Amino acid sequence: MKQRTVRVARYIASLAVGAAHMGLALWAGSTAGGWSWQHGYALPYDTSSSAAISAAIVLGLAAAGAVLVLPEPWMTEVRFLVRGRPLRPCPGCGGRISTSANNDPNTTSKETAK
């Protein structure tokens, strides 16, 4: 029972890390869009009456996308560290893999990969 509680707590903490990352991305996007809107920037070749709002939307999406995509390898590593499964380099492909394939004590020998 204690191990299950710890596992659930770690999983909820890793979700909190992901939610904080998403919140940071939303904040960055809204800040970039608001700054663009306040300073009256427009996209090149956009002469419509809604040029400022179009630029604010595009810059906000670009900033939010950059905050989500660029630090994703580090965020993945942090989430796995919080879950108690640190990542290590794969000897075959050079990618990152979890160090513990299965940490369930109730696993039978038929369920474990050899």
Predicted local confidence at residue 107, as pLDDT: 55
The pLDDT tens digits of the residues spanning 1-58 come to 888 898 899 999 999 999 999 999 999 999 999 999 999 899 999 888 899 999 999 9
Predicted local confidence at residue 90, as pLDDT: 79
Token pair 């109730």 is found at 106
> What sign has the CA pseudo-torsion 38, 59, 26, 76?
negative
| Domain limits, the chain | 2-85
Give the pair of three-digit tokens for residue 109: 């020998």
Q: Nearest CA to 67 among 102, 21, 2, 18?
A: 21
Predicted local confidence at residue 93, as pLDDT: 82
d(CA 80, CA 1): 22
Predicted local confidence at residue 95, as pLDDT: 75
Residue 5 C-beta-side C-alpha neighbours within 13 Å: 2
The pLDDT tens digits of the residues spanning 73-114 come to 899 889 888 988 888 887 778 777 776 655 555 555 554 555
Predicted local confidence at residue 37, as pLDDT: 93
